[in-house]
Amino acid sequence: MNQAPARTLQQATGTARLLDAWHTTGRPADLADHLERHGAAPRPGAALIAAVEEAGLTGRGGAGFPTGRKMRVVAAQRRRAVVVANGMESEPASRKDQTLLAVAPHLVLDGAVLAAEAVGADRVHLCVPRTRTHQLRELTAAIDERRAAGLDTVPMVLQELPHGYVTSESTALVHWLNGGPARPLGSPPRTHEKGVHGLPTLVQNVETLAHLALIARHGPHWFRQAGTAETPGTVLITVGGAVRDPGVLEVESGTTIGALLQQAGGPTEPLQAILVGGYAGTWLPAGQALALPFTRASLAPAGAAPGAGVITALPQDACPLTETARMLTYLAANGAQQCGPCRLGLPAVAADFTALADGHATPDQVERLRHRVGLLPGRGACRHPDGAARLAASALTAFADDVDHHLHRGPCRRPAVLPAPPTARIREWR
């Protein structure tokens, strides 16, 4: 599923900011292109924190935490700090961060350096998977361009991490940078207090940093001209499944799921459901989902969240239980394997769900599945089991009729239609 930007980027109606240069020129921006379009980054220093707070920028990596508040907490430690730019993007259904780094790397690198200056950091670590060799070459070239031009005040180090679903979690990045395995840590202290080498550490998603670079140039009022008062700015969304032009869109915050699908060319056939938020997300019936704005506040009453900015359209002729079983099998194989819910709970849930999808489950087994799904949230050393439980629980609810059919009449024998990544367990953590 690693596609060239020209195939993954779709032109959305509305405001293009992060992807404006791509839509104008159709080519990735090197340093000369970047400076011609955006100019050299200003140096607001600590004043940038207040501007980001006023802009209302929130993290684009999944948690949605206010970026300015996070920066202020790190700066308040009044010690030498570290900035980590998270470009791991381990969510299998997402392509937004890879696409952004491919077509506008210098916006990300600007934002990382500006964030470092604002919080008092003397080093930036840009973390990407070592499996993305082409991306690593391109980013190395971009960093070398900036170094030769004397552009940055803070050293930037490109870090090549093992690639797994949980290796993108912020504490996993810090754990790896400190010489340990890229497994998430669930216990205090938090990374903003004691992170890389024991220093206060600001971990931000690469899309968040690119927005920060534009806020530094144009100000918070400009940022708020897009989106809504509650969710200002633009967001990158990966739209997949049964749409004519799947790919990455930049849209204004608050755009409805139905409008997002239309901007991706519209459905190719009638839809039965939408997966919101990716593999750790929530299945919603299409009739319910289409009218919902793709924001945290609007999705919360439906039990969903934007996650890493992913929506996947499921066609009417697909088997939703088969699709969910494949995702759960992947999630079970890609846990950190450091606590009971990952080592035992997730494989058991995946096995029970697979039996249900195959038409082999008994009523007692389905009840056991529901019980196990209810036990997973909040019990892991990290939140990986919570996401798998959310996916499974939403499928059991949204596809109750399919559950009954598979339980009493056997499998529907509809084919799997969504791409699924390999289910081999990650074996390399360093």
Is CATH 3.10.20.600 the right assignment for the domain spanning 234-315? yes
Task: Give DSSP secondary structure letters for 329-384.
Answer: HHHHHTS--SSHIIIIIHHHHHHHHHHHHTT---HHHHHHHHHHHHHSTT-SSSSH
**Is residue 138 a contact partner of residue 98, using CB atoms and an 8 Å limit?**
no
How many Å apart are CA 61 and CA 78, to the nearest integer? 26
Q: Is the CATH number 3.40.640.10 carried by domain 320-409?
A: no
Q: Note the pTM of the prediction, 2 decimals.
A: 0.95
- pLDDT at residue 328 greater than cutoff 50: yes
Segment 31-45 mean pLDDT: 95
Are the C-beta atoms of 389 and 377 separated by less than 8 Å? Answer: yes
How are strands ordered across the β-sheet holding 247-252?
247-252, 234-241, 310-315, 271-276, 282-285
The reply to whether omega before 92 is within 30° of 0 (cis) is no
Q: What is the DSSP annotation of 119-180? A: HTEEEEEEEEETT-HHHHHHHHHHHHHHHHTT--SS-EEEEEE---GGGGSHHHHHHHHTTS
Phi, psi of 312 (to 5 degrees): -130, 125
Say which residue the tokens 């087994």 belong to: 365
Q: What percent of the chain has pLDDT over 90?
A: 86
How many Å separate Cα 75 from the centre of its chain?
A: 25
For residue 2, the model assigns a pLDDT of: 41
Residue 11 confidence (pLDDT): 60
Q: Above pLDDT 70, what percent of the chain?
A: 97
Compare 235 and 337 and report the one with higher pLDDT: 235
Longest dimension (CA), the chain: 69
Gyration radius (Cα) of the chain, Å: 21
Picking from 173, 170, 169, the residue whose alpha carbon sits closest to that of residue 384 is 169
- Joined tokens for residue 68: 């300015």
Tell me the residue type at 402: D
Alpha-carbon distance of 235 to 294, in angstroms, equals: 10
Q: Which two tokens stand for residue 118?
A: 């604002």
115-130 mean pLDDT: 98
Q: For residue 120, which phi and psi values (nearest 5 degrees)?
A: 80, 35
pLDDT, residue 424, reads 73
Residue 143 predicted with pLDDT over 70: yes
Q: Looking at residues 394-414, what average pLDDT do you find?
A: 93
DSSP H or E run through 240: strand 234-241
Binning pLDDT at 50, 70 and 90, where does residue 426 land?
confident
Residue range 240-251: mean pLDDT, rounded: 96
Over residues 170-224, the pLDDT tens digits come to 999 999 999 999 999 877 778 988 999 999 999 999 999 999 999 999 999 999 9
Predicted local confidence at residue 4, as pLDDT? 44
Domain with CATH 3.40.50.11540 in the chain: 18-224
Give mean pLDDT, residues 40-61: 96
| pLDDT at res. 111 | 98
What confidence score (pLDDT) does residue 12 get?
Answer: 56
Nearest of 11, 5, 22 to residue 99 by alpha carbon = 5
Q: Distances from the Cα of 231 to the Cαs of 15, 26, 27, 64, 238, in angstroms?
A: 15, 29, 30, 10, 18
Distances from the Cα of 14 to the Cα of 208, 228, 232, angstroms = 19, 13, 14
pLDDT given for residue 90 in this prediction: 92
Contacts of 169 (CB under 8 A, 6+ apart): 184, 382, 383, 384
Where in the sequence of the chain do the CATH 3.10.20.600 domains occur? Answer: 234-315
The domain made up of 18-224 is a member of CATH 3.40.50.11540: yes
Mean model confidence pLDDT for the chain: 93
CATH 1.20.1440.230 in the chain, residues? 320-409
pLDDT of 134 higher than 50 = yes
pLDDT in tens, 157-170: 999 999 999 999 99
Q: Which two tokens stand for residue 333?
A: 């194989």
Contacts of 221 (CB under 8 A, 6+ apart): none
Q: How confident is the model at residue 89 (pLDDT cuts 50, 70, 90)?
A: very high
List strands edge to edge, sheet with 81-86. 156-161, 121-129, 81-86, 201-205
Q: Identify the residue with better confidence: 2 or 237.
A: 237
